[in-house]
Amino acid sequence: MGADLSAIRQFGVGAQLLGVCAALFCAFAGDAARAQPACRLATISKATVRATTDEGITLEDGRTVTLAGVRVATASDAELTPGTEIVLKRAGTAETDRYGRLAAQVFISEGGGERWFQADLVSAGLAQVSSRVGDAACARALFAAEQAARDGKLGLWADPYYDPLPADKPAEILARRGRFALVEGEVVSVHPSGATLYVNFGRRWSEDFAVTIRKRNERKFTTAGVDPHGLSGHRVRVRGWIEARGGIAGSPWRAPWIEAARPQQIETVGRNDARVAR
Task: Mark whether 14 and 141 lie in a shared domain.
Answer: yes
pLDDT of residue 7: 32
Against a cut of 0.85, is the pTM above it? no
Maximum Cα–Cα distance for the chain, whole Å? 64
Residue 100 is assigned to a structural domain of this protein: yes
Task: Mark whether 14 and 107 lie in a shared domain.
Answer: yes
Q: Which domain holds residue 51?
A: 3-150
Angle at 254 between CA 250 and CA 258, to 5 degrees: 140
Is the Cβ–Cβ distance between 261 and 214 less than 8 Å? yes
Task: Mark whether 135 and 22 lie in a shared domain.
Answer: yes
Sign of the C-alpha dihedral computed for residues 258, 167, 135 and 56 taken in this order:
positive
d(CA 200, CA 209): 7
d(CA 19, CA 16): 5
Task: Mark whether 187 and 143 lie in a shared domain.
Answer: no
Could you tell me the CATH number of the domain that includes residue 55? 2.40.50.90
What are the beta bridge partners of residue 57? 52, 65
Domain limit, last residue, from 150, 172, 190: 150
Domain limit, last residue, from 150, 181, 203: 150
Residue 27 is assigned to a structural domain of this protein: yes
Task: Mark whether 127 and 52 lie in a shared domain.
Answer: yes
Task: Mark whether 49 and 172 lie in a shared domain.
Answer: no
227: helix, strand or coil: coil
pLDDT of residue 37: 59
193: helix, strand or coil: strand
Task: Mark whether 74 and 192 lie in a shared domain.
Answer: no
Domain limit, last residue, from 95, 124, 150: 150
pLDDT of residue 252: 57
Angle at 243 between CA 104 and CA 261, to 5 degrees: 45
Could you tell me the CATH number of the domain that includes residue 205? 2.40.50.140
* Cα first-last separation, the chain: 32
Residue 70 is assigned to a structural domain of this protein: yes
d(CA 122, CA 152): 12
Residue 25 is assigned to a structural domain of this protein: yes
Residue 157 is assigned to a structural domain of this protein: no
Task: Mark whether 260 and 184 lie in a shared domain.
Answer: yes
pLDDT of residue 98: 85
**Cβ-proximal residues to 122 (8 Å cutoff; 6+ apart), any chain:** 25, 70, 128, 129, 142, 145, 146, 149
Pick out the chain residues at pLDDT < 50.
1-36, 248, 271-278
Q: What's the structural domain count of the chain?
A: 2
